[in-house]
Structure 1
Amino acid sequence: MREYTLKYGEQIISFTLVNDIKIDILHPNKELDAVEDPTDQIKKSLRAPIGCEPLKEMVLKEKPKNVVILVSDLTRPSPSHILVPPIVDELLEVGLKQDQITIVFGLGFHRKMTGQEMQKAVGKEVFEKVKCINHDVSECVFIGKTKRGTPVEVFKPVAESDFIIATGNLELHWFAGYSGGNKALLPGVCSKKTIETNHSYMLLDGAVSGKIENNPVREDIEEAGKMAKVRFIVNAVLNSKKEIVKIVSGDPILAHREGVKYIDMMYKVNIGKRYDIVIASPGGFPKDINLYQAQKGLDNAFQAVKDGGIIILVAECREGFGEKTFEEWMKKAKTPDEPLEWIKKDFCLGGHKAAGFCKVMKKARIFLCSKMDKSIVEQIFMTPFDSLQDAIDHALKEYTQKPDILLMPYANSTLPYLD
């Protein structure tokens, strides 16, 4: 017998397999170390950007009357307090006045940030120098439609600015492919209608983690960014410790794609084939604190499982569902098809997570090893288990021949793919 261990909440749990059952283990690639001096890296990237002239030269040539810097809110891990000060310094050095610069916090659907939170996000010095405002979904202006028909409605101060700089962090995103780039604009500073229309494309083919080409969500985001005239991006590539490992600046498409290479280098792993059984742990607490957070690991496991296969999701879920709308949609659905239909008609946050779960259920069965009430797990179309060993033994009985098995001990941060 061979023993394997996984993180589960704040514990380590184990299971055993007989020696003649083969199991492959999928680990992330080696993570990059943090850069020694992030501020120096940012300054260098502003002066030697990817795919365009240096920021100072662009501003000197175009002489904008006002510049907007798009900044993530506190729900994102973007190190804005490190990214933004060098950008502001560059703009001031080239002759812009403080009142010509506005920082807009891209909230999407999220709540407004307090003044104290804004100061924490960009640093006290920047906060006291330049105007900082929250995006408001109710104060957006229409600038046109994308080829897919998304009405692009942008926060008025952003739409009326002469020069837009987008900041943020780069990481895998479960239906936009990757975060970063023009995502600071859409969903960051667009209307509810624009965001919902764009996010509804998550149900289309190609809207998966780690994919840009032919990803309908990402392509729509890029088109909106071009329409709004996002001119320059500054994105940080982070490792799992949220340390900066690379700064990419410049053209919103070309610089973003360069950053994507570093994400792929760390977190995309070629698996060569799909598997009958995929055992996935998000990586323990806090990644499995609730079902909402564990969904990312499930979605990555989805990339590795065969049609009709089994995913064993090993997630403690001490806080249950973790989001009200997600819970309501899952509980009221009579079949996995219903949330997929509801999201097409009425996109809403929380509901999109329910659709994400149900999308996986259309391909594979989900065995959930958690602390959630068994009757509730059964109600939401999954098979509950208290014991990981029981879940695995049950899955093995489903196959008359030895199944192909993949173990993903860090499923939230490992993306399997096939060439």
Structure 2
Amino acid sequence: MEFILGFDKKTMTFKIDQNNLMTVLEPNKINIESSGVAEVKRSLLEPIGSPRLKEILKTGEKVVIITSDITRPMPSKVVLPILLEELYEANISDKDIKIVFALGSHRKHTEEEKKYLVGEAIYERIECIDSDVENCINLGQTSLGTPVNIFKPVAEADRRICLGNIEYHYFAGYSGGAKAIMPGVATREAIQANHSMMVRKDAKAGTLEDNPLRRDIDEISNFLSIDFILNVVLDEKKNIIKSVAGHYLEAHREGCKFLDQLYKIYMEQPADIVVVSPGGFPKDINVYQAQKALDNAQHAVRDGGIIILVASCKEGLGEHTFERWMTTSNSPEEMIVNIQKKFELGGHKAAAIAMVHQRARIFLVSDLEDDFVRKIFLEPYKEVETALKSAYSILGEDAKVLVMPYGGSTLPVVNKA
């Protein structure tokens, strides 16, 4: 049977014998009532737990719209024109609007990237800026000790509107909601304090109410208002199939419920081999981003199995602290010991990969040089079929293979019964 996986902006093709194929982990079949622009418009007309946006805003108010950076698949250029219509109906002028890209700990954009994210027409009319960790103000401290250091233009605005896409996050539970502000437009110190909770038991994909890290994120509303959110759920082709708008918690939780119906997939038993793709660009732009798909894949593989991660990673590792941990540690075990001794943002992703090593071997099919891949404790391949051949030689010719074409989205749950 032939498979085609996303790989950068291209695809990678390979075959698996029917006798080896266990299953393909694809989204559940659910009824999609509307999609794309029509669905975004519907959500703005039917906000959850909130009046319509145009009824909240007042003429002359300074409004910031916080949206995702280029490493996220959030279709800002599709959503923004519809959202702006609501602002214009409230007599908010372009000069009173700022679009802020929530960088978190990621690199800054080029001007061309900003234009690509919002579309040329909006880029020419409205000020579009990156968040800046050097230009933040402190608003206090959460109950769990996280300093609330927020990008000054966001903190000082009259109104804050958060955009984002909802998908599983390996320790925040889900993306979206208040995550646009914390960690989106926070300082490295604040992000580090929040993310240090990733080592706690309930800080994992698909958990919300019992997740201390997510509770810490949502506490941001005690320090500055989130006046409205617009979050979308994307299908495997990055099309909008659900949009939720309104109250930062109520609307977000409805979006998470929809995501579970679509992407939480129950399995009777784990596989010997998991072939997983983040889904192509931008989710496989570097190892830092591709790690999310790897983390989801670990829930589908048996102890002692093999994960074949199919990700271009053409930009390399993707974050300087992560790179230091990956290239200077003597072993994956050392990374786990070190993150327990002292949490360091960036190092947390290295430790997360190291924790997958405890469960399975990791083969990486990428555009990276073989020697570099070996240096970061992964096993290098250029083609999926070559990697599969090696996996069969290790685990046996009858090894069962599970394919995850959209590993960054789908969350496998093995039934414990």
Same topology, TM > 0.5? yes
Q: CA deviation at 1:365?
A: 2.7
Give the Cα–Cα distance (whole angstroms) in 2 for the partners of residues 316 and 37 of structure 1: 27
Give the Cα–Cα distance (whole angstroms) in 1 for the partners of residues 108 and 378 of structure 2: 36
Q: CA deviation at 1:136?
A: 1.5
User: What is residue 403 of structure 2 aligned with on the other side?
Assistant: 408
Match of residue 348, structure 1, among 333, 345, 350: 345
SS state of the match for residue 186, structure 2? coil
User: What is residue 28 of structure 1 aligned with on the other side?
Assistant: 27
Query: Is 1:392 the counterpart of 2:395 in the alignment?
Result: no
SS state of the match for residue 158, structure 1? helix
Identical pairs, percent: 38
Query: Is 1:46 the counterpart of 2:19 in the alignment?
Result: no
Give the Cα–Cα distance (whole angstroms) in 1 for the partners of residues 12 and 21 of structure 2: 25
Matched ranges for 1:292-371 at <5 A: 292-306=288-302, 308-315=303-310, 322-323=317-318, 325=320, 326-343=322-339, 345=342, 347-349=344-346, 351-362=347-358, 364-368=359-363, 370=365
Q: CA deviation at 1:327?
A: 4.6
Change (3 A) 1:138 1:277: same
Query: Is 1:280 the counterpart of 2:279 in the alignment?
Result: no
Query: Is 1:161 the counterpart of 2:161 in the alignment?
Result: no
User: What is residue 13 of structure 1 aligned with on the other side?
Assistant: 14
Q: CA deviation at 1:167?
A: 1.1
Give the Cα–Cα distance (whole angstroms) in 2 for the partners of residues 323 and 64 of structure 1: 40
Q: CA RMSD in A?
A: 3.5
The runs of 5 or more residues in structure 1 that have no matched partner are none
Change (3 A) 1:258 1:114: same
The runs of 5 or more residues in structure 2 that have no matched partner are none
Q: Which amino acid aligns with 1:58?
A: I
Query: Is 1:79 the counterpart of 2:107 in the alignment?
Result: no
Query: Is 1:138 the counterpart of 2:139 in the alignment?
Result: no
Give the Cα–Cα distance (whole angstroms) in 1 for the partners of residues 266 and 149 of structure 2: 39
Give the Cα–Cα distance (whole angstroms) in 2 for the partners of residues 374 and 87 of structure 1: 46
SS state of the match for residue 57, structure 2? helix
SS state of the match for residue 306, structure 2? strand
Matched ranges for 1:38-187 at <5 A: 38=37, 40-59=38-57, 65-187=61-183
Quick check: 1:74–1:117 contact (8 Å CA) kept in 2?
Answer: yes
Q: Which amino acid aligns with 2:156?
A: E
Q: CA deviation at 1:358?
A: 0.7
Q: Write the deviation string for residues 329-383 of structure 1: whole angstroms up to 9, x where unpaired.
A: 233222323223444535233x333112112123x13142647777766665556
Give the Cα–Cα distance (whole angstroms) in 2 for the partners of residues 139 and 358 of structure 1: 34
Q: CA deviation at 1:70?
A: 1.2
**Bigger Rg over Cα:** 1
Q: Judge which range, 49-58 or 333-342, deviates more.
A: 333-342
SS state of the match for residue 98, structure 2? strand
Q: CA deviation at 1:150?
A: 0.7
Q: Which amino acid aligns with 2:142?
A: T
Change (3 A) 1:407 1:15: same
Q: Figure out how many residues of one structure are paired with residues of the other and give that number.
A: 403
User: What is residue 242 of structure 1 aligned with on the other side?
Assistant: 238
Q: CA deviation at 1:245?
A: 1.3
Give the Cα–Cα distance (whole angstroms) in 2 for the partners of residues 105 and 375 of structure 1: 35
Change (3 A) 1:226 1:88: farther
Change (3 A) 1:418 1:158: same
User: What is residue 202 of structure 1 aligned with on the other side?
Assistant: 198
Give the Cα–Cα distance (whole angstroms) in 1 for the partners of residues 259 and 391 of structure 2: 32
Give the Cα–Cα distance (whole angstroms) in 2 for the partners of residues 217 and 117 of structure 1: 31
Q: CA deviation at 1:324?
A: 6.5
Give the Cα–Cα distance (whole angstroms) in 2 for the partners of residues 370 and 74 of structure 1: 23
Change (3 A) 1:147 1:375: same
Q: CA deviation at 1:104?
A: 2.2
Change (3 A) 1:387 1:92: closer
TM-score of the two chains, using structure 2 as the length reference: 0.82
Change (3 A) 1:80 1:377: closer
Give the Cα–Cα distance (whole angstroms) in 2 for the partners of residues 254 and 276 of structure 1: 36
Give the Cα–Cα distance (whole angstroms) in 2 for the partners of residues 89 and 37 of structure 1: 16
Quick check: 2:236–2:279 contact (8 Å CA) kept in 1?
Answer: no
Quick check: 2:159–2:227 contact (8 Å CA) kept in 1?
Answer: yes
Give the Cα–Cα distance (whole angstroms) in 1 for the partners of residues 128 and 5 of structure 2: 41
Q: Which amino acid aligns with 2:82?
A: P
Q: Write the deviation string for residues 211-258 of structure 1: whole angstroms up to 9, x where unpaired.
A: 223223322211124432112101122112221112210011111111
Give the Cα–Cα distance (whole angstroms) in 1 for the partners of residues 226 and 343 of structure 2: 29
SS state of the match for residue 263, structure 1? helix
